[in-house]
């Protein structure tokens, strides 16, 4: 036995070295498809967009000229793009707080109930599942100025006390109710409303999951310390405990809000709404880059868009790492 042992150890060491080599080789074979696709589909386009944003390239043309930062200058000087930034920011700044707030509010309400929790949860989640384009068309019918359900309902309020207390109503009854999607005063808000309608259920579900991890004892402890009102308990216990959830919910809602496209293209296939009031960035990329073949300017918008998204995500990661619970 004692004689054989070293030789066993020897072959074992040899075979383990051989195995390590084989493991390395196999590992690379397993990783290479994913790695090459990552480079080709995710990294290369970013670089390409970055380069093209400094050119006047268009598909079908053989050559192109380097135009320096002209595309970017155009972005920051032309009024069309000013409208684009205004529309995108209006949408994001409206949709994010409201849909996060509603998601939290509904989650808290549902969480405090004994019965019917599941039913509410299911119903509020339905818009998240439904094809947004189909629902946009359903909303478009509801908002139809003459045969839409919304203006019909408003008309029913004519002649009642509502006319006296609500100037909008009085005005609508005297003349006519808004052409919701054709009026630049309303268009962007309608789109925001649909965005909130579609997205808050998603936030609600994430908050409900977050709420299950808040310990009951914490509430008792807070009560002992004199946090009597529900608001105090929320401020001292629930809100800090939901910190990580909130960071995530806000980031993902922001990124989704930046990407709004379906509703806008469905309502206004040409040109981004009345007076370009709903000309959001995704639509601009589509219109400039694909429809008008102005790849340079489209790429510049793409780069700006990526910048927004990356900055947002980095802020989120930083917050998570800092474990900031405001």
Q: Which of 54, 72, 91, 124 binds other proteins (CB under 8 A)?
A: 124
Site membership for other proteins, residue 319 (CB under 8 A): no
In angstroms, rounded to a whole number, what is the distance separating the alpha carbons of residues 160 and 157? 6
Given 20, 221, 230, 324, the residue binding other proteins (CB under 8 A):
20
Out of 48, 221, 230, 324, point to the residue binding other proteins (CB under 8 A): 48
Structure tokens at 35: 């790695």
**Residue located via tokens 């051989």:** 18
Q: Which of residues 164-223 bind other proteins (CB under 8 A)?
A: 197, 201-202, 205-206, 209
Q: Which of 237, 285 has the CB closer to other proteins?
A: 285
**71 contributes a contact to other proteins by CB under 8 A:** no
Q: Which residues contact 255 (CB under 8 A, 6 or more apart)?
A: 309, 312, 313
Q: Identify the residue among 1, 4, 7, 33 touching other proteins (CB under 8 A).
A: 33
Instruction: Please state, in angstroms and rounded to a whole number, the distance separating the CA atoms of residues 175 and 147.
Output: 16
Print burial letters for 159-191: b (CB count within 10 Å at least 16), e (below 16): eeebbeeeeebeebbeeebbbbbebeebbbbbb
Distance, in Å, from the CA atom of 326 to the CA atom of 246, rounded to the nearest integer, reads 10
Nearest to 81 by CA among 73, 92, 93, 69: 73
| Measured distance CA(249)–CA(240) in Å, rounded | 14
When asked if residue 67 is in the footprint of other proteins (CB under 8 A), the reply is: no
Q: What is the DSSP secondary-structure string of 161-182?
A: THHHH-HHHHHHHHS----GGG
Among positions 8, 93, 133, 324, the unique one binding other proteins when judged by CB under 8 A: 133
Which 83-122 residues touch other proteins, going by CB under 8 A?
106, 109-110, 112-116, 118, 120-122
Among 68, 48, 37, CA closest to 306 = 48
Q: Is 37 in the site for other proteins (CB under 8 A)?
A: yes
Nearer to other proteins, 170 or 256 (CB): 256
> Which of 89, 137, 214, 315 is in the footprint of other proteins by CB under 8 A?
137
Report the C-alpha gap between 201 and 209 in whole angstroms.
Answer: 12
Calpha distance 143→122 (Å, rounded): 26
Q: Which part of the chain contacts other proteins (CB under 8 A), choosing from 84-92, 181-189, 224-232, 298-306?
A: 298-306
How many distinct helices (H) and strands (E) make up the chain?
17, 0
Number of residues counted as binding other proteins (CB under 8 A): 87
Contacts with other proteins, 140-169, as mask; x by CB under 8 A:
-xx----x-x--x-----------------
**Between 258 and 297, how does the x/- string for binding to other proteins read (CB under 8 A)?**
-x-xx--xx--x------------x--xx--xx----x--
Piece of the chain touching other proteins by CB under 8 A; list 8-16, 23-31, 73-81, 229-237: 23-31
10 sits near other proteins (criterion: CB under 8 A): no
CB nearer other proteins, residue 188 or residue 204: 204
**Which residues, 6 or more positions from 248, have their beta carbon under 8 angstroms from its beta carbon?**
206, 316, 320
For residue 90, the minimal CB distance to other proteins (Å) is: 20
């Amino acid at each position: 036995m004692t004689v054989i042992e070293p030789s066993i150890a020897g072959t074992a060491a040899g075979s383990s070295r051989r195995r390590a080599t084989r493991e390395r080789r196999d590992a690379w074979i397993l990783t290479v498809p994913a790695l090459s696709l990552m480079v080709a589909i995710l990294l290369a386009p970013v670089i390409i967009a970055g380069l093209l944003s400094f050119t006047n390239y268009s598909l079908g043309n053989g050559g192109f000229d380097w135009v320096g930062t002209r595309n970017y200058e155009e972005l920051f000087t032309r009024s069309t793009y000013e409208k684009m930034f205004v529309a995108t920011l209006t949408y994001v700044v409206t949709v994010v707080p409201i849909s996060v707030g509603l998601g939290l509010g509904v989650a808290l309400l549902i969480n405090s109930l004994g019965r019917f929790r599941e039913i509410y949860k299911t119903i509020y989640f339905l818009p998240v599942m439904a094809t947004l384009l189909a629902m946009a068309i359903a909303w478009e019918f509801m908002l139809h100025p003459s045969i839409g359900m919304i203006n019909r309902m408003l008309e029913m309020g004519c002649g009642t006390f509502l006319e006296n207390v609500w100037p909008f109503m009085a005005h609508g009854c005297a003349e006519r109710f808004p052409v919701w999607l054709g009026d630049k005063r309303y268009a962007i808000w309608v789109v925001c409303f649909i965005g909130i309608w579609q997205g808050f259920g998603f936030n609600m579900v994430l908050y409900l999951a977050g709420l299950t991890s808040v310990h009951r004892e914490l509430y008792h402890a807070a009560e002992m310390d004199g946090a009597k009102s529900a608001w105090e308990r929320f401020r001292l216990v629930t809100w800090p405990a939901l910190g990580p959830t909130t960071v995530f919910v806000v980031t993902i809602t922001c990124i989704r809000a930046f990407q709004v496209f379906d509703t806008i293209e469905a309502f206004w296939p040409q040109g981004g709404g009345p007076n370009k009031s709903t000309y959001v960035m995704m639509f601009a990329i589509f219109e400039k880059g694909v429809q008008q073949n102005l790849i340079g300017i489209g790429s510049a918008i793409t780069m700006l868009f990526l910048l927004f998204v990356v900055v947002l995500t980095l802020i989120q990661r930083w917050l998570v790492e800092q474990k900031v619970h405001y």
